[in-house]
Structure 1
Amino acid sequence: MPDPTDADGLTVGQVSARLGVTVRALHHWDEIGLARPSLRTAAGYRLYTAGDLERLHRIVVYREIGLGLDRIRAVLDDSTADVPGALRAQRAQVAERIERLQRLSTGLDRMIEAHERGLLLSAEQQAAVFGPEWNPDWPAQARRRYGDTTQWRQYAERAAARSPEQWQAVAEEMADLERALAKAMDAGVAPGSPEADQLAERHREVFASYFPLTRQMQVCLGRMFEDDPGFAAHYDGIRPGLATWFRRIVDASARAHGIDPDTAVWE
C-alpha cells in the first residue's frame, strides 16, 4: 500500500521496487493511459503520488488474479462496470485452469511412475489382462535391463496413457496375431510368401503398441524369440516350432526389403 509520507512522489525505480513490478511494465501502463504518474521533475522524470500508488496497487492485485489490462481499466474507470460479475467470471476461469493443472499433475505422476515401473497395473490386473502365466515381476526385470534405452522411454509414454481396458485390447490383439501365426504355420505357409510377409508386417503393427519396431529391430526380436528360453517356451507352447518359424518369416520379410538378417542390428 502507498505510504502517506511519500508527499513528494516516488520515482519509477522506487515504485518498481515497492510494488514488485518491472520498470518496463510501469512505462507500458503509462503509455497506454492505465496508470500515469501525476508529477514530473524539472528534468522530466516521472513521479508517482500516493494516489498513483493506490491505483497501481489495485492494478497489481487485479493482474495477479488474472484480469487482462482492458478488464482492469474497465473495473477502475467505468462506474457502471459489474465488478463482482467480472470477478466471478475470473474465478470460473481460475477454477478451470486449476482443474487443467490438476489433470496435468496427475499425468506427470503417471508418466514418472511409468518410467520407473513400466506397467501401471496391479498384479491382479496384470493377471486378468495377460493371463495366469504372466509374471508381475517381468516389468521390473525389463526396467532393469532396458531402462536406459529409447524404446523403454517410448514404452513408458504409451503405458502412462493406457487404461486397463486398453491394455486388455492390446493383449487380445497380440493373442489374435499369435493364433494367426500358428494357423499359418499349420497350413504350411512358406516364409517369403505374400501371406507370411503380411503376418510379419502385422506383427510390427501390433508390436507398435509397445514401441515403434523397425524391420531390423524385428529381425533381432525374432532371434530373441527363438533363442531366449522364456520366449521360446511361450511361442513353442502355442505350437511346437512356432518360434523358429516366426524367425524365418521375419528374416524372409527383411530380405524382401533389402535387409540382410545376418547383419541386422537393433536400430
Structure 2
Amino acid sequence: MSYSVGQVADLAGVTIRTLHHYGQIGLLEPQDRSPTGYRQYSDADLNRLQHILFYRELGFPLTEIAAILSKPGATARAHLRRQHELLTQRIARLTDMVAAVEKELEAHSMGIALTPQEKFEIFGPNYSENYEMEAEERWGDTPAWQQSQTRTQAFTKQDWVKVKQDEDDLNRRLVAAMTAGAAPNSDEALDLAEAHHRSIEVFYDCPYPMHRGLGDMYLADERFTRTYEELAPGLAQWLRDAVHANADRQER
C-alpha cells in the first residue's frame, strides 16, 4: 500500500511540515511518487517513521536518530529490543521521580521543613503519601491520629533520622531472632514486641489491646504483610504472635 503525505500525517499525529522536514534532511524520504509527482509513503516508510517518532519522544536529536537507523544490521527486531531497553530505563526513571514527589508531599503533609536532599536521606523508597491519606481517612477522627499529628509536627530532621534508624535496627533484631529460631512467646521475642510497642508510642499512646489490633493488621492487610515478608518470610506471622504474647504478659 502507499499513503499520501496527508494520510501519513493523520496516522502518525504529526504535521505535514514535519514530514517535509524529515524528507529534506534525508531522515525519511519516500522513493515512490504519484503520477502527479507527489510523495507516496510505503509500509516500510511508515515503519521507519514509527522508529523516528519513538526515538524523538525519548529526546534523541534527529542527527543521532539518523545514525541509529542507518547502522548495519539495524533490523526491526533490533530496534524493538533497543526500544524495550530504553522504555524500561525510562519507566525506572519515572518510578524514581514519582517516589521523589511522594516523599516531598509526605514531608509537606507532616509540616517538616527539610531540603530535598534531607528528604531523600530520611524517607525510604517504599513510602507513599497514599498511606498517609488512607490512614487519615480511616483514623482521622480518632484521638491517636490527632495525637500523632501533634507530635510529628514538632519533629526535627534529627528526630526523623532517629525514628528511621530505630525502625531499621528493630527490624534487624526481629529478623535475627526469628531466623535464629526464637519462639514468638520466648523472652527475646517478648522483649522485641515490647520494643515495637514503644516505637509506636513515639507517635501516639498505644494501649496493649490496640497493639494487638496492629499485630492482626500485619496479617490482614497485604501491604503490611508484604513489608515484613520482604524482610524475612514468615516474619509478619511471627511478629503478630509475639505482639499478642507480649500483650498477654503485660496485662497479667
Q: TM-score range by the shorter chain?
A: 0.5 to 0.7
Structure 2 match to 1:146: 139
Do the aligned partners of 1:192 and 1:249 also contact (CA within 8 Å) in 2?
A: yes
**Matched residue of 2:125: which SS?**
coil
Q: Identify the match of residue 172 of structure 1 among 161, 165, 172.
A: 165
Structure 2 match to 1:243: 236
Note closer, same or farther for the CA distance 1:218–1:126 as it changes in structure 2 (3 Å cut).
Answer: farther
Distance (Å, rounded) in 2 between the aligned partners of 1:119 and 1:187: 41
Do the aligned partners of 1:119 and 1:139 also contact (CA within 8 Å) in 2?
A: no
Structure 2 match to 1:134: 127
Do the aligned partners of 1:118 and 1:156 also contact (CA within 8 Å) in 2?
A: yes
Do the aligned partners of 1:118 and 1:143 also contact (CA within 8 Å) in 2?
A: no
Structure 2 match to 1:210: 203
Distance (Å, rounded) in 2 between the aligned partners of 1:207 and 1:146: 15
Distance (Å, rounded) in 2 between the aligned partners of 1:171 and 1:189: 25
Structure 2 match to 1:193: 186
Note closer, same or farther for the CA distance 1:248–1:123 as it changes in structure 2 (3 Å cut).
Answer: farther
Structure 1 match to 2:112: 120
**Matched residue of 2:183: which SS?**
coil
Equivalent residue runs for 1:1-267 within 5 Å: 117-118=109-110, 120=112, 124=116, 126-258=119-251
Structure 2 match to 1:3: none
1:118 CA displacement: 4.2
Unmatched 5+ residue regions in structure 2? 1-105
Distance (Å, rounded) in 2 between the aligned partners of 1:133 and 1:121: 21
**TM-score using structure 1 length:** 0.50
Between the aligned residues of both structures, percent identity stands at 32
1:145 CA displacement: 2.0
**TM-score using structure 2 length:** 0.53
Structure 1 or 2, whichever has the larger Rg, is: 1
CA-based RMSD of the aligned residues comes to 2.4
Distance (Å, rounded) in 1 between the aligned partners of 2:207 and 2:246: 12
1:170 CA displacement: 0.4
Distance (Å, rounded) in 2 between the aligned partners of 1:121 and 1:225: 31
Note closer, same or farther for the CA distance 1:121–1:151 as it changes in structure 2 (3 Å cut).
Answer: farther
Range that drifts further, 238-247 or 160-169 = 160-169
1:122 CA displacement: 6.8
**Matched residue of 1:137: which SS?**
helix
1:151 CA displacement: 0.6
Do the aligned partners of 1:182 and 1:238 also contact (CA within 8 Å) in 2?
A: yes
Note closer, same or farther for the CA distance 1:129–1:251 as it changes in structure 2 (3 Å cut).
Answer: same
Do the aligned partners of 1:118 and 1:159 also contact (CA within 8 Å) in 2?
A: yes
Aligned length: 145
Unmatched 5+ residue regions in structure 1? 1-113, 260-267
Note closer, same or farther for the CA distance 1:239–1:257 as it changes in structure 2 (3 Å cut).
Answer: same
